Chain A
Amino acid sequence: MSIARIKIVVFLLAFAPAAWLTYAVLTDQLGANPIEEVTRDSGTWALRFLLITLTMTPLRWLTDWPGWIQFRRMMGLYCFFYACLHMLLYLWLDKFFDWPEILADIIERPFITIGFISFTLLVPLAATSTKAMIKRLGRRWKKLHKLTYVIACLACLHFLMLVKADIREPLLYIFILATLLFMRFYRATIKPIILARQ
């Protein structure tokens, strides 16, 4: 299969959670509180796609197949897509666009503050994801997109702070993120030291 074809398949697969959520809402399959369920799920999918985005580079190292990088932007944009959905559901169905209340939420509640910052930081990354922007920004583009690491940490924290008592799921994502970050740290810092000693 050509990479263009694989891309189409991956594109459709990444859209599947959104399609399923829509279908499940319309057919009343999300239990007694569907709005909360969709709000939570869209947030979880945003985090998952962010982690998938961060997995592309380590996969290239591990498999020696440079093709992984070709999926990185799509995964990143899907993260943004689910994050937008998550944000919209919060603003609309949780707060019904009550702006003073939303502002108070953002200022007073650390977990909302952190979620809001994560989303805000995603916006410039999505806006600079086109080929033209990559060219225009040059080396600064790479620097800017290092924000992804910050966003991933904040998003994990956002999830952890939201949970009432059972922290297993956020801990799983924190563990995955820590592994992905450690692989980068190892390659950039520890490996050169080991090689230099030999």
Chain B
Amino acid sequence: QAFDNTTESRFSTDEKLTTYQDITTYNNFYEFGTDKSDPATYATDFPDPNKPWQVTIDGECDKPGVYDVDDLIGKQDLEERIYRLRCVEGWSMVIPWTGFPLAAVLKAAQPNTNAKFVEFTTLFDPEQMPGQRREVLQWPYIEALRMDEAMHPLTLLAIGLYGHEMPGQNGAPIRLVVPWKYGFKSIKSIVRIRFVERMPTTTWMLAGPNEYGFYSNVNPDVDHPRWSQKRERRIGEFLKRETLMFNGYGEEVADLYDGMDLRKYF
């Protein structure tokens, strides 16, 4: 399935795209194994077409619901967004996503005044996701954003890349893309979106509390305890480049963190 009715976005970068080959064979998606090549190997038939994909939207909102993923997508105007992606491990890519702002879905659910955070959950199905047969991380994978981050126009729900349906290894059928945060915040293969009052503990916070914070904004000045975040290797390039504050999206998002000590809230 190809998307041909997408509109260009003003948020797109004009940097050189990472190749489709690299984007779809170099993945961190521990649900399919911990090697970068595992997702491409084990997610070729994912998700199983015989298992309907549903997304639950619930929690602190007035219009909760369970949606068939196609119904959820069907109501949206699709855009192509070319975003930089910076992995916490020190590499980066430029990816043309197809999707729509998360805010559109969130607003439709009419969050109430208690909704301070949005929590996302990945599918748990060890039959389809062989990596989940071992407790490398606590399953299911959980990620979360503060309400204003979730509502931000840059925050995307992506359903495709390079104009085609999302490959399994990149988080089919629907995933989050938050371009100013490290890649692991952009949770894949979402089955649940929940409005909550208190800050959720995410999977990576649980795995390494001093290494992976709730915010995990791309920040060259705050190092990972085990490696520097000053530079990154753009996949396909030989020399490293300087990592940009908020991954280069500071103009759009820096005001979300006004007055916050980003060393403390890493």
Q: Is A105 an interface residue (CB 8 A)?
A: yes
User: Could you tell me if B34 and A33 are in contact, using CB atoms closer than 8 angstroms?
Assistant: no
User: Could you tell me if A162 and B207 are in contact, using CB atoms closer than 8 angstroms?
Assistant: no
Q: Is B250 an interface residue (CB 8 A)?
A: no
Which B residues from 217 to 250 make CB contacts under 8 A with A?
A: 223, 225-228, 230, 233, 235-236, 238-240
Interface residue stretch chosen among B7-15, B22-30, B190-198: B22-30
Task: Looking at the assembled complex, report how far the CB atom of A106 sits from the nearest CB atom of chain B, in whole angstroms.
Answer: 12
User: Could you tell me if A101 and B239 are in contact, using CB atoms closer than 8 angstroms?
Assistant: no
User: Could you tell me if B226 and A111 are in contact, using CB atoms closer than 8 angstroms?
Assistant: yes
Q: Is B37 an interface residue (CB 8 A)?
A: yes
Report Cα–Cα, A36/B239, bound state, in Å. 12
User: Could you tell me if B22 and A32 are in contact, using CB atoms closer than 8 angstroms?
Assistant: yes
Report Cα–Cα, A101/B229, bound state, in Å. 11
Task: Bits for A156-176, please: 1 = Cβ < 8 Å to B, else 0.
Answer: 000001101110000000000
- With contact pairs A33-B91, A35-B233, A36-B233 given, residues A165 and B137 touching in the complex (Cβ less than 8 Å): yes
User: Could you tell me if A32 and B228 are in contact, using CB atoms closer than 8 angstroms?
Assistant: no
Partner of B136, one of A36, A161, A165: A165
Q: Which chain A positions have C-beta within 8 A of B228?
A: 101, 104-105
Task: Looking at the assembled complex, report how far the CB atom of B135 sits from the nearest CB atom of chain A, in whole angstroms.
Answer: 10
Which B residues from 198 to 221 make CB contacts under 8 A with A?
A: 207-208
Partner of A161, one of B226, B230, B239: B226
Task: Looking at the assembled complex, report how far the CB atom of B133 sits from the nearest CB atom of chain A, in whole angstroms.
Answer: 13
Q: Is A138 an interface residue (CB 8 A)?
A: no
Q: Is A146 an interface residue (CB 8 A)?
A: no
Q: Is B152 an interface residue (CB 8 A)?
A: no
Q: Is B116 an interface residue (CB 8 A)?
A: no
- With contact pairs A32-B22, A32-B236, A35-B233 given, residues A162 and B37 touching in the complex (Cβ less than 8 Å): no
- With contact pairs A165-B34, A165-B207 given, residues A31 and B226 touching in the complex (Cβ less than 8 Å): no
Q: Which chain A positions have C-beta within 8 A of B21?
A: 32
Task: Bits for A8-45, please: 1 = Cβ < 8 Å to B, else 0.
Answer: 00000000000000000000000111011000000000
Task: Looking at the assembled complex, report how far the CB atom of A55 sits from the nearest CB atom of chain B, in whole angstroms.
Answer: 27
Instruction: Name which residue of chain B comes closest to A94, CB basis.
Output: B240
User: Could you tell me if A32 and B227 are in contact, using CB atoms closer than 8 angstroms?
Assistant: no
Q: Is A96 an interface residue (CB 8 A)?
A: yes
User: Could you tell me if B25 and A32 are in contact, using CB atoms closer than 8 angstroms?
Assistant: yes
Q: A36-B91, A166-B30 are in contact. List 4 more A-B contacts (CB 8 A).
A: A32-B235, A33-B26, A105-B227, A166-B136
Q: List B residues at the A interface (Cβ < 8 Å).
A: 21-22, 25-26, 30, 34, 36-37, 89, 91, 136-137, 207-208, 223, 225-228, 230, 233, 235-236, 238-240
| Closest A-B pairs by Cβ, 9 of them | A32-B26, A166-B34, A32-B22, A32-B235, A165-B136, A166-B136, A111-B226, A109-B226, A165-B207
